[in-house]
Structure 1
Amino acid sequence: MPRFAANLTMMYNEHAFLDRFAAAAQDGFKAVEFLFPYDFRADEIKARLDASSLTQALFNAPPGDWAGGERGIASLPGREDEFRRGIDTALDYARVIGNRKLHVMAGLIGADQPRAKHREVYLSNLAHAARAAQAEGITVVIEPINTRDMPGFFLTRQDEAQAVCAEVGAPNLKVQFDCYHCQIVEGDLALKLKRDMAGIGHIQIAGVPERHEPDTGELNYPYLLELIDSLGYDGYIGCEYRPRAGTSAGLGWLKPYLNANR
């Protein structure tokens, strides 16, 4: 049966961040993920995980100036030293928190910027990140993101992401398959999951198009989750969605899976 991780950046916003861990555990989650831990000490987060018997599934490497609109720096020429320092910081956190997957965001590119140069920098930075993470037993994941939500994002397609991983050639570099983003950009999720599962390191879900609970919208998640299970995926599935109302009140879709895992 699929195993789910609550995304504490989007879910449980009724609570202060450090209180979201207990709220997720109370609702039956065994794992969590979030975007960034860096506003808190790693030992503070670890204490909340341990107190609620939760596993940390994933978090993101530093993305540059997030508040200023940056969405990752891995493909940005001239930011290589900053990127490497960010990977060091992320791995320092991961050693304490205990997660074994780290998401590295590519960043934004303008229409007038040289894509080939960005790709060259991206490949080099990912190779460095994968080498550094491999020593810690950590998998680096890259995520194609739709440009409706994130205009100008460098990486948008599953086949492109798989090609990047193949070119870097690191065994611990894989693709983060977000069903929400893939449906908006490409569709045909089932065939892409079948085609690419060997190269998928993490999966996320949300309803399309509103990014609410996965029991709303145009995707048939019961079918997709059964397919993912049948393909042998044994990682956590991140629930990266914005609840329609209260987080706990919207978890009716999850209860059959929790009951089956008891």
Structure 2
Amino acid sequence: MPKFAANLSTLFTELPFLERFDAAAAAGFRGVEFLFPYDYQPEQLKQALTRNRLELVLFNTAPGDSAAGEWGLAAIPGREADARRDIDRALEYALALECRQVHLMASVVPPAADRQQWSETFISNARYAAERFAPQGIRVLLEALNPITKPDYLYASQYQTLEMVKRIDRPGVFTQLDLFHAQRVDGNLSHLIREYAGQYQHIQIASAPDRHEPDEGELNYPWLFDLLDSSGYQGWIGCEYLPRTTTLAGLGWLDPYRPL
């Protein structure tokens, strides 16, 4: 039986951020995730989680200056000190919020850059993150982002992140399988789910191609949820989609999976 986490950066956005925890719990979610916690003190977030008996299942390292086009610092040559500062900060939040996994954001790579150099920089910083996180029982996750949504990101394909995990070669580093991004780039999701079971430790979902509720578009999500169950996946499924109207109006797809 799949267990779903509401992504509070994309769901319940009609409410102020700290009120979204209450709304998610009232809607039947038992887990939440979000992009970034850093605008809030850990104590504020912990209180919202505890009040609603919610588990925080994932967040990201800081993006850098997103207004200037940055989307992660960990692959940028010469920015190692900044990247490792952000990794250390993420670890502080993960420990305070009892979150067992963090997505290490790579970087957008300028078209003229030496991608091999940027990859090597990322590998070095990912090894640093793994060596800091693994003793605390916290996983480091890598996520491929499709080039339509995020052009020029370090990796677009699930196969690139799977290979990157091998190159990092440290305990506690896994892929994060976002089925929306994977469908836009790789397709053949049943192959990814079956053949690489155990190599991904978090799933995210949205319809393809429009990134709405998982009840429209190209993907048969009930079938994929059954496949994840039969493949032995026991982790969380993050609902990182953009509601067609309001969040609550579009939650009918969740009814068969709500906790009793």
Task: Return the TM-score normalized by structure 1.
Answer: 0.98
Instruction: Percent identity, please.
Output: 45
Task: Report the counterpart of residue 188 of structure 1 in structure 2.
Answer: 188
Residue 110 (structure 2) pairs with residue 92 (structure 1):
no
Residue deviations 1:90-147 (CA, integer Å, cap 9, x gap): 0111111111000011111122110110111011111110110112110000000001
Q: How far apart are residue 171 of structure 1 and its match?
A: 2.0
Aligned to 1:25, the other structure's residue is in SS state: helix
Question: Who is 2:48 aligned against?
Answer: 48
Report the Cα distance in structure 2 between the residues aligned to 1:109 and 1:253, rounded to whole angstroms.
37
Q: Distance in 2 between matches of 1:148 and 1:170?
A: 30
Instruction: List per-residue Cα deviations over 1:240-259 (Å, max 9, x = no partner).
Output: 0000011011000001011x
Match of 1:119 in 2: 119
Please tell me the root mean square deviation across aligned C-alpha atoms, in Å.
0.8
Matched letter for residue 58 of structure 1? L
Q: Deviations over 1:138-187 (max 9, x none)?
A: 00000000010111111111111111111211120000000000000111
Secondary structure at the aligned position of 1:22 is classed as helix
Partner of 2:219: 219
- For 1:6 and 1:116, the matched residues in 2 are separated by 36
Once the 2 structures are TM-superposed, how far is the Cα of residue 216 of structure 1 from its aligned partner? 1.0
In the alignment, does 2:144 pair up with 1:147? no
| 1:164 equivalent in structure 2 | 164
**In 2: Cα distance, 1:67 partner to 1:6 partner:** 26
Corresponding position: 1:28 with 2:28: yes
Distance in 2 separating the partners of 1:14 and 1:203: 25
Confirm or deny that 1:102 pairs with 2:102. Answer: yes
Amino acid at match of 1:49: L
Aligned-pair distance for 1:192?
Answer: 1.0
**Displacement after TM superposition at 1:67 (Å):** 2.9
- Indicate the SS of the match to 1:151: coil
Gaps of 5+ in 2: none
Query: Residue 63 of structure 1 aligns to a residue in which SS?
Result: coil
Residues 187-211 of structure 1, C-alpha deviations (whole Å, 9 max, x = no match): 1111011111121011000001110
SS of residue in 1 equivalent to 2:181: helix
Instruction: Specify the alignment match of 1:83 in structure 2.
Output: 83
Residue 96 of structure 2 aligns with an amino acid whose one-letter code is: V
What SS is found at the alignment partner of 1:198? Answer: coil
Structure 1 runs of 4+ off > 4 angstroms?
none
SS of the aligned residue for 1:197 comes to coil
**Structure 2 counterpart SS, 1:238:** strand
C-alpha separation in 2, matches of 1:78 and 1:3: 40
TM-score of the pair, normalised by structure 2:
0.98
SS of 2:76's partner is: coil
Structure 2 distance, partners of 1:250, 1:81, is: 43
What's the counterpart of residue 58 of structure 2? 58
Aligned residues: 260
Residue by residue over 1:43-75, the C-alpha shift from the partner in whole angstroms, topping out at 9 and shown as x without a partner, is 100000000000000000112112332111111
Q: Residue by residue, what CA displacement relative to the aligned partner does 1:214-241 show, whole Å, maximum 9, x if unpaired?
A: 0011101011111011111111100000
